Structure 1
Amino acid sequence: MRRRLPAPVCALLTLATVTLLAVGATVAPAQAGPGAGRDPEAPASFVELRRVDPTIIEEIRYFTPHNFMGVPVTGYEQPLCLLTRSTAEALRRAQRTLLRQGYSLKVYDCYRPQRAVDHFVDWARDLGDQRMKAEFYPRVDKTRLFADGYIAEKSGHSRGSTLDLTVVRLPALPTRPYRPGQTLTPCYGPKKERFPDNSVDTGTGFDCFDTLAHTEDPRVTGVQRAHRTLLKTTLEREGFTNLPEEWWHFTHQPEQYPDTYFDFPVALRSLHRP
């Protein structure tokens, strides 16, 4: 999709960079030397969100098959939210605001390795694989995913300051597990007909490839619009900016790594430990 998120006290390992001729950005590769060929590690400024604020609900969709591809995504070894520390601390401040109002943040995706983005791209090129179309892109032809901006070869998530999230009314009810092969319903339908998510009603489900997911779409009114506004204004106060095409997508500014796309796995082993 237009994809656009800090275990300190160890020294920061120097990461070699590869210049991308097309965009002038860098991808952080595996460490050179005796350990060459191993997975790269995260900079020391990345942390597990749960260690910064354990009250934020986590439902890491790409670790599971309940996503627009219908399979767990490459690079998600554990259901974790990894972010730069400054982003995680900003989320903690936003969470404190929401808790006082009887709500909690819930994250769907945080840092995303480049290998996961590559998996998205490969899937988008396979026009025969449309197993999740009925839920995630029922009104979009798969041949249009690149042209319409739903899939891209780079994502801001790979830089560590971008994440996808929503709001849950407390006390949080459990979300029924997704069962592969179950009947799918459109992500833009009425909440009672969509996949049962314990979040508030924002007019569409997460990762809905549809113009109704645009944050300010005029068709979204009433309580649904109020919930989008609650999420957006709360996060904006803490330095986040929203991607207008996706009500759930936010980036903390200024980004610590605005030009680097990391590829370490989503796993605790990627983090520096004291």
Structure 2
Amino acid sequence: MKFKLLLTLFSIGLGSVYSQSVQPNKYGLKVVADTVLYKQELKIDSNKALIDLKKVIPNIALDIRYASANNFMGEKMYSTAAAFARLPVAKALQNVQRELGSKGLGLKVFDAYRPYTVTVAFYEKQKDSVFVAAPWKGSRHNRGCAVDLTVINLKTGKELKMPTPFDDFTEKAHSEYKNLSKKVLKNREMLKEIMSKNGFTVYKEEWWHYDFNGWKDFELTDISFEDLQRFQ
């Protein structure tokens, strides 16, 4: 009991020192942008690790739109086509993939962890805080706790029919939009149900965007994909 108490106090102390070492940016946000601090964070709590989803879910499909010009920005935002998420998020997605797999289905990920500077770039171009996060708040993607995804047929690799393509900014993208075919509604609700069961909540404006329910426990982060790959 004494050992556990000492360990807890030690972790709190480390967390306090860590928190003080991150200086607020111009928006007053504390953003982890240093790999040394990130490694210190992992020593305090291994759940903070940003995990390469392909390494823990080998059969997950990736279509990382921001690693190409095929996105609403019309330009390449990531230098590497990879998807990262915090350890508990990755484990939850493993469970989702396993359950879908029993039906011959699987996940396709469009985006997961997003460096904070990319979120700032999105806002500076769009000046919209509904479909892109405001830089003075940051995104749950920046915390490694949001994932943009859809469902595919594992045999054919084809996406199930959903209300809109990824990153559609029309009213049809809303997670409760009703004027859709029965098949599309069924697919959307199936995804919503399985994600909810595994600890995710859909973002109401985007049927493809899911936030992990424990996102508040994780810091806004601005570590590059290349640096993260060195820690895998």
Task: Quote how far apart the aligned CAs of 1:271 are.
Answer: 4.4
Report what 2:181 is aligned to: 221
Task: Quote how far apart the aligned CAs of 1:80 are.
Answer: 0.6
In the alignment, is residue 30 of structure 1 matched against residue 34 of structure 2? yes
Report what 1:261 is aligned to: 220
Instruction: Indicate the structure whose relative CO is greater, using CA pairs within 8 Å and at least 6 residues apart.
Output: 1
Tell me the SS of whatever aligns to 1:70: coil
Q: Which structure: greater helix fraction?
A: 2
5+ long unaligned stretches in structure 2: 1-14, 43-48
Distance 1:255 1:272 in 2: 24
Distance 2:150 2:121 in 1: 24
Report what 2:3 is aligned to: none
Tell me the SS of whatever aligns to 2:207: coil
Task: Quote how far apart the aligned CAs of 1:70 are.
Answer: 0.7
5+ long unaligned stretches in structure 1: 1-11, 33-39, 126-144, 174-197
Distance 2:186 2:222 in 1: 36
The answer as to whether partners of 2:84 and 2:144 remain within 8 angstroms in 1 is yes
The answer as to whether partners of 2:50 and 2:228 remain within 8 angstroms in 1 is no
Q: How does 1:33-182 map to 2 (within 5 A)?
A: 41=38, 44=42, 45-73=49-77, 76-124=78-126, 145-146=128-129, 149-151=130-132, 152-153=134-135, 154-173=138-157
Amino acid at match of 2:33: P
What percent identity do the matched residue pairs reach?
Answer: 28
The answer as to whether partners of 2:140 and 2:215 remain within 8 angstroms in 1 is no
Tell me the SS of whatever aligns to 2:183: helix
Distance 1:48 1:162 in 2: 14
Tell me the SS of whatever aligns to 1:242: strand
Task: Quote how far apart the aligned CAs of 1:256 are.
Answer: 6.2
Say how many residue pairs are matched.
206
Amino acid at match of 1:110: A
In the alignment, is residue 19 of structure 1 matched against residue 29 of structure 2? no
Distance 2:148 2:176 in 1: 17
Distance 1:102 1:19 in 2: 47
Q: TM-score if structure 1 supplies the norm length?
A: 0.68
Report what 1:245 is aligned to: 205
The answer as to whether partners of 1:203 and 1:212 remain within 8 angstroms in 2 is yes
Task: Quote how far apart the aligned CAs of 1:257 are.
Answer: 3.5
Write out per-residue CA displacement over residues 173-195 of structure 1, whole angstroms, 9 at most, x where no aligned residue.
4xxxxxxxxxxxxxxxxxxxxxx
Tell me the SS of whatever aligns to 1:92: helix
Task: Quote how far apart the aligned CAs of 1:171 are.
Answer: 1.1
Amino acid at match of 1:270: L
Distance 1:168 1:62 in 2: 20
The answer as to whether partners of 1:160 and 1:257 remain within 8 angstroms in 2 is no
Task: Quote how far apart the aligned CAs of 1:239 are.
Answer: 0.7
